[in-house]
Copies of this chain bind each other. A is one copy, B any other.
Amino acid sequence: MIIVLKPGSTQADIDYIEEKLNDKGLRVHISKGEERTIIGAIGDERILREASLAAYPAVEKVLPILKPFKLASRDFQKENSVIDVQGLTLGGKEVRVMAGPCSVEDREGLLTVARAAKAAGASFLRGGAFKPRSSPYAFQGLGEEGLVYLSEARDETGLLIVTELMDPRDAELVYRYADIIQIGARNMSNFTLLKEVGKFDKPILLKRGLSATVKELLMSAEYILDQGNRNVILCERGVRTFETETRNTLDLSAVPLVKSMSHLPIVVDPSHAVGRSDLVAPMSLAAVAAGADGLIIEIHQNPEEALCDGPQSLRLSEFADLMKRLGAVIQVMGREL
């Protein structure tokens, strides 16, 4: 950690800070430049972070050197994490596609979607039983009934299930049905929930918050990893900007950025990012070209009648077309579906 002192700082200021740092067991390195004195504090970064060094009156700024996460970092683990989901790998050579409706609405509709997803080449069925909706008056999901339908669709099609957990009190319930437990963007900083799923032995799909930096996403992953669950899959789903033509702005540079900072796999959800079905296909292709390990795509048998997110859902035939084009890009990237 580098501590930059204000101009005009005295030797007494330097001595005082040095003493405080020594008290915490840190070594100190002082460098006096022409305009600023700089103190380098060497030792356990965790202690340093908790010290409120910037509150000292003589301190101008504090510059951390190390990343604030450890278990999630490439420094900690050099090789990519390949997550095992009931025998299916994610984060390896394959690019995995997760498809399904925003929310599970009824048995028949879900089965129709699941069969089409399977036929087109998807590996996972996504669908929410518990839905975080910005309006209390909007459809909030079917709850356990939705989980049952998902599990029936899995039985029939063999697709594995990705579904969201919102309430720590539903953790056991969702755990029983899901193959991958999703933590939604709105809950990326719900540390209570993160600690809860950190105790599970099933993979967690952690979505990036609407205005979270990649570093913060990795800090949230660290909460899960720190509890013992090493099976974390990150998900880029768009961040909030001033652009109003799209629902959010898909940040595809997060894909190679995550790869450079972390060993964890990352998938991309273009549907929530753009919020319009006509932009989903090009952004799906782009995500794979950027190096994504998978995609989450909203599809619906009848988007006009969807109870949630119809305008961003692909029709089943559009999805089938997209999967063909995706296959070609996946291959040229040296990967497999």
A54 touches B310 (CB 8 A): yes
- Count of chain A residues with Cβ under 8 Å from any Cβ of B? 106
- Beta-carbon nearest neighbor of A27 in chain B: B33
Residues in B neighbouring A244, C-beta threshold 8 A: 213, 215, 244
A89 interface residue (CB < 8 Å to B): no
A176 within 8 A of B: no
Assuming the contacts A210-B211, A252-B250, A279-B253, asked whether A63 and B2 have C-beta atoms less than 8 A apart, the reply is yes
Which of A79-87, A90-98, A116-124, A280-288 lies at the interface with chain B?
Answer: A280-288
By a CB distance below 8 angstroms, the chain B residues around A190 are 166, 186-187, 190
Q: Which residue of the partner chain, among B50, B65, B332, contacts A33 with CB atoms under 8 Å?
A: B65
Least CB distance from A271 to B in Å reads: 12
From A63, A136, A250, A305, residue with most partner B Cβ within 10 Å = A136
Q: Are B285 and A289 in contact (CB under 8 A)?
A: yes
Inter-chain pairs besides A211-B240, A244-B244, 15 sampled, C-beta below 8 Å: A31-B42, A33-B42, A34-B42, A49-B138, A52-B306, A68-B135, A132-B189, A136-B226, A167-B192, A168-B168, A187-B190, A241-B242, A286-B289, A289-B289, A289-B329
List residues of chain A with CB under 8 Å of any chain B CB: 2, 4, 7, 20, 29, 31, 33-36, 38, 40, 42-43, 45-46, 49-50, 52-56, 63, 65-66, 68-69, 75, 132-139, 166-169, 186-187, 189-192, 195, 210-211, 213-216, 219-220, 222-223, 226, 239-246, 249-257, 260-261, 273-274, 277-279, 282-283, 285-291, 303-307, 309-311, 313, 328-329, 331-333
